[in-house]
Each structure stands twice: as structure tokens, then as C-alpha cells.
């Protein structure tokens, strides 16, 4: 790989917003298929089977369920939710471990997205979906998070930051066997990718900044995202 840093991705005239309507129409899958025809996307049947499996294992039944948000779901859920609470999951931590050659990167300059990796703990938010719209909203969520096989949805125990149990939530954990999984890389390369990558959904830098700022708005300071945010801003200024 050429070690010369790329220029920062130029800001678009009108930033793209991932909406529920776009997801319902299959726009995300269509966009990835056009820009990355070599990427294997889940079929409608596979996605439906995945959703059916998670609902079949549902540990709690009542007036709705929780979804755990640790990345872009924090600042753009694109679903109808009735509550949002600060929450923590144990035994999983937030990390940059998923390469993207479509949404926020290209095959020539992949961007990076967050995933939940085993170990540690992660503070984010839980989003409540009402029972009467459950299937519709989860189908939108699956069209977003399960467009390919980068994540493994699973039920995780969630609690308040003080340790009070909140029940169970769906969380999208990283699939270490998926083709987009990235193991540890030098931080300088991670910063370069985030600072310079752009795809059909926007820049990898905006994804970082929006997630960092979304966490800040809830009173959460994530040391990794704060450090990367400072380094990405510095590199973008240097390359401008």
C-alpha cells in the first residue's frame, strides 16, 4: 500500500442522512451493490431468517424491547423509538474493527466503522421500540445493520451506569469471521483511513465526530473516540 496520506474527503454540498424511508426502500443495499458489486449482501430471506431467530430467542416479552446503541444508532436511529436511556453492557467494548468499502469508504480507500468486541464494558444508550410497531421497526434496523455479514446480532444484558439491571437488549456485535472484519492495526493507519475515506453515506470522519459528540451529549467521554477525534482533526488540517 502507498504510505502517502490521501487528501481529506471533501465535504459534500448537502450531507447525506440515512433515513427510515431510504432503508425501507432498499436504498442502502442498492447503493452498496452499485459501488461494490463484489461484496456479498444478505438476501431478503437470509435477513428475515436472522430477525426471526433473534425474536425466537427473545428473553422478555411485554410492551416492547430495547436495542443497544453504541455508534451511529446513538445520533441517527432512523426508527420510531419511545425512550432512550444511558446504559452499559458488560463483557463487550466499542472498537474500530469493521472496514467499509461502500458507505463511508471505497475499495481503494476503505473507511472504518465501530463494532462491539469481546471483553471490557461499553457505555452507550438503549432505545425502546413499542410492541405494536416492533416488527416494522426491526425490519428497518435489519436492513441497516444486517445488509451484509459484518455483525452478529445477539441478546445482551444491559444495566444503568450505576449497575441497576435494565433487562436485555439486542446488540450488534462484530463478526470476526466476516470479510470486512479488521484486526488491530497501527493507530496511524486507522487515523489516516478515518481522516480521508468517503463513501455513498459520507465520510468516515463524520461518523467518528458524530458518534463522539453523541456520546458527549449524554455525558459520556470515550477515551478512544476522543483521542482519535483529535488525531483525525489534526491530520485533516495538515492535509488541507
Inter-residue contact 205 to 194 (CB < 8 Å): yes
The yes-or-no answer on residue 145 being catalytic is yes
Task: Kindly state the cell numbers that stand for 60.
Answer: 422478555
Residue 37 has phi, psi (to 5 degrees) of -65, -15
From 145, 177, 187, 226, active-site residue: 145
Q: Which candidate, 36, 103, 37, places its Cα nearest to that of 76?
A: 103
Dist CA 235 CA 64 (whole Å): 44
- List of residues 6+ apart from 191 with CB closer than 8 A: 228, 231, 232, 235
* Catalytic residue positions, numbered: 145
Amino acid at each position: 500500500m502507498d504510505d502517502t496520506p490521501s487528501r481529506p474527503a471533501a465535504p459534500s454540498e448537502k450531507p447525506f442522512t440515512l433515513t427510515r424511508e431510504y432503508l425501507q426502500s432498499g436504498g442502502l443495499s442498492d447503493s452498496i451493490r452499485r459501488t461494490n458489486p463484489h461484496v456479498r449482501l444478505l438476501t431478503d430471506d437470509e435477513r428475515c431468517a436472522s430477525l426471526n431467530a433473534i425474536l425466537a430467542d427473545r428473553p422478555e416479552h411485554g410492551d416492547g424491547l430495547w436495542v443497544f446503541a453504541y455508534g451511529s444508532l446513538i445520533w441517527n436511529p432512523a426508527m420510531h423509538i419511545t425512550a432512550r436511556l444511558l446504559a452499559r453492557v458488560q463483557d463487550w467494548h466499542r472498537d474500530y474493527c469493521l472496514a467499509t468499502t461502500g458507505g463511508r469508504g471505497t475499495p481503494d480507500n476503505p473507511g472504518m466503522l465501530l463494532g462491539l468486541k469481546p471483553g471490557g464494558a461499553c457505555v452507550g444508550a438503549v432505545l425502546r421500540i413499542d410492541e405494536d410497531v416492533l416488527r416494522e421497526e426491526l425490519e428497518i434496523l435489519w436492513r441497516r445493520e444486517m445488509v451484509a455479514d459484518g455483525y452478529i446480532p445477539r441478546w445482551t444484558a444491559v444495566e444503568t451506569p450505576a449497575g441497576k439491571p435494565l433487562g436485555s437488549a439486542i446488540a450488534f456485535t462484530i463478526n470476526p469471521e466476516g470479510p470486512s472484519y479488521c484486526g488491530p492495526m497501527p493507530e496511524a493507519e486507522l487515523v489516516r483511513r478515518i481522516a480521508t475515506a468517503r463513501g455513498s453515506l459520507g465520510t468516515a470522519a463524520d461518523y467518528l465526530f458524530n458518534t463522539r459528540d453523541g456520546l458527549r451529549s449524554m455525558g459520556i467521554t470515550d477515551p478512544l473516540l476522543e483521542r482519535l477525534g483529535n488525531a483525525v482533526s489534526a491530520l485533516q488540517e495538515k492535509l488541507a
